[in-house]
Amino acid sequence: MTDALDVALTDVTRRYVESNPGSARLARAAAEVMPGGNTRSVLHTEPFGLRIAGAEGAVLTTVDGHRLVDLLGDYSAGLLGRPTEVADAVRAVLDRGWGYGAMSEPETTFAGALVERFTSVEQVRFTNSGTEADLMAVLTARHVTGRDRVVVFEGGYHGGPMTFLPGSAPLRVPFDFAILPYNDTAAVEAEFSRHGEQIACVLVEPMLGAGGCIPASDGFLSALRSLTRTHGALLVMDEVMTSRLAVGGAQEVYDVRADLTVLGKYFGGGLSFGAFGGSHEVMAAFDPTRGGLTHGGTFNNNAFTMAAGTAVLALLDADTLAGLNVRGDRLRYRLSRALAPVGFCVTGLGSMMTIHPRPGPVARWSDVAGVDHRWRRLLFHELLAQGYYIAERGYLALSLAVTDADLDAFVEAAAAFADEYADLTAEATVGGP
C-alpha cells in the first residue's frame, strides 16, 4: 500500500532523475561492464549512483554541473580535503619516477611517523587498504597465539571480508567467529568464560563505523583489554576511522592500548593505504631474520602513498584534530536539534557522525537495525537537491576543507527537511518496510 512516505520518496527520486541525466547515462554504460554499474557497493544509490566530474577543496562537481558541499569526505578517507601539500608530494614522485620494485627512504620516514603517533605501535607493516590490514592483523593474532577463534561485534565493519551487517555473510572469510552485541561487556565475559582458551583475539572498532557511528561505552574497551590480557588473547583495535580522534587515535582518547592496531583511509591522503602494527614481540612474526612469515603485496610500499603519507602526517597535529572534533561535536548537537521534529537522532564522535531515523539513545547496532530505510533515502535525496553530499545511510565525515559557513547552511537545510516532513513521524515508521 502506498503511504505518504512512499509518495514523498517517489517525488524526490523523480526530481533526482530529471536533474542528473548525465549520471543516468553513465550509469547505464557502467552497468554493461560492471555488475550494478559499480565496483564499490556503498556508492550505489537508487535509482543510479551519482557521477563526479571533479573536486576542489570541499566541493564536488557532478557530470551534470551541480556543485555539492562534500560532507562525506570519502567515508573518512578525505580528512584533509584536497591540500596542495599532498598534490606536491605526488608530483615530486612523478618527477623522480615510480614503480621501483625495491625499497626507498620515504617508507621508513612514513613508518617512523606512524610509530611516533601510536604508543601501542613499535613496528608497522603497510598494505593497500584497511581491509587488507584488518585481515593481516587477525591472521597475525591467530599465528602468534596458536588459536583460531575471533571475537567480533554485531554491526562491525573491518573491510568486505569481515563485515558483520545483514547480507555480509556470503563474502565473509571462514574464520571461527563469535559475533557478540557491541557495548555488552557481560556477553564478552560469558564468551571468554566458555571459550577463553580458544580465543585468538578480540577485533573491535572503538566506534562502530558502518554500523552507525556508535561509540564504545564507558569501560567497554578497558574491559576488553582486561579480558584479553587475562586469557592470553590479543586485543586488535580497528582504528581505520577512529585514528582521526587524536594524534594517538581512540586509544589515546579511551586510554586503552591494543596489541595490534589497524590503520587506513586518510593517512594515504586520498591514495590507497592500509597498515597494521604492534609491539616488537608481536611484529617479530614478520622478521625474515627470525624465520618470519611472508607478507607480500606489490603496492604495499608504492612510492605515491609513501610520499603522500609523510605529507599528511605533517599536517595533522593535535590542535588541528582537536579543532575539527570540536566542530564535529557542535554540528552533531545542532543537527540533533534541527531534526527533532521528525524524531531523528545523531550519533558519533568528533568529526564523524550518523543521522538515524529514530529517537535516541543508540548504544548498539540492534538499536537501529529496524529503522525504515525509506527515511534514509528521502533525507539523502533532499539534502543532495539542496547541494549537500552525505552517505545514503546518513553518515558524515567532516574534512578540514569544510567551512563553518558550509555547516551553518547544512544545518538550515536539515531543519528545512524536518519542517517539511514533520507530519510524517520517523518514530511511527521504525520497523517499517
Q: Of 282, 128, 262, nearest to 204 (Cα)? A: 262
What confidence category does residue 176 fall into, taking pLDDT thresholds of 50, 70 and 90?
very high
Digit-coded pLDDT (tens) for 326-356? 999 999 999 999 999 999 999 999 999 999 9
Q: Which of 134, 238, 259, 372 is catalytic?
A: 238
Find the catalytic residue in 16, 75, 157, 266.
157
Mean pLDDT on 87-99 = 96
pLDDT in tens, 352-369: 999 999 999 999 999 999
pLDDT in tens, 129-145: 999 999 999 999 999 99
Strands (E), 135-230: 149-153, 176-180, 199-204, 207-208, 214-215
| Residue 422 to residues 7, 71, 240, 335, 428, Cα–Cα distance (Å) | 15, 24, 36, 15, 12
Is 75 tagged catalytic? no
Catalytic-residue membership of 287? no
pLDDT of residue 179: 98
Report residue 432's pLDDT band, with 50, 70 and 90 as the boundaries: very low
| For residues 259-266, average pLDDT | 98
Instruction: Give the residue extent of every domain in the chain.
Output: 84-315
Residue showing cell 596489541? 259
Mean pLDDT, range 71-84, rounded to an integer: 96
DSSP state, 97?
-
What is the per-residue pLDDT for 430?
Answer: 45
Per-chain mean pLDDT for the chain: 96
395 is catalytic: no
User: pLDDT by residue (tens digit) across 281-336?
Assistant: 999 999 999 888 999 999 999 999 999 999 999 999 999 999 999 999 999 999 99
User: Model confidence over 14-63: pLDDT tens digits?
Assistant: 999 999 999 999 999 999 999 999 999 999 999 999 999 999 999 999 99
CB 134 within 8 A of CB 156: no
Name the CATH architecture for the domain at 84-315. 3-Layer(aba) Sandwich (3.40)
Instruction: Provide the whole-model pTM.
Output: 0.96
pLDDT of the residue at 431? 44
Say what percent of the chain tops pLDDT 90.
96
pLDDT at 2: 56
Q: Which of 75, 182, 254, 265 is catalytic?
A: 265
Condensed to tens digits (0 to 9), the pLDDT of residues 155-164 reads 999 999 999 9
pLDDT at 194: 98
Q: Are 430 and 376 in contact (CB under 8 A)?
A: no
Q: What per-residue confidence (pLDDT) applies to 424?
A: 86
Whether the bond into 83 is cis, omega within 30 of 0: no
> Is residue 97 very low, low, confident or very high in pLDDT (cuts 50, 70, 90)?
very high
pLDDT of residue 427: 46
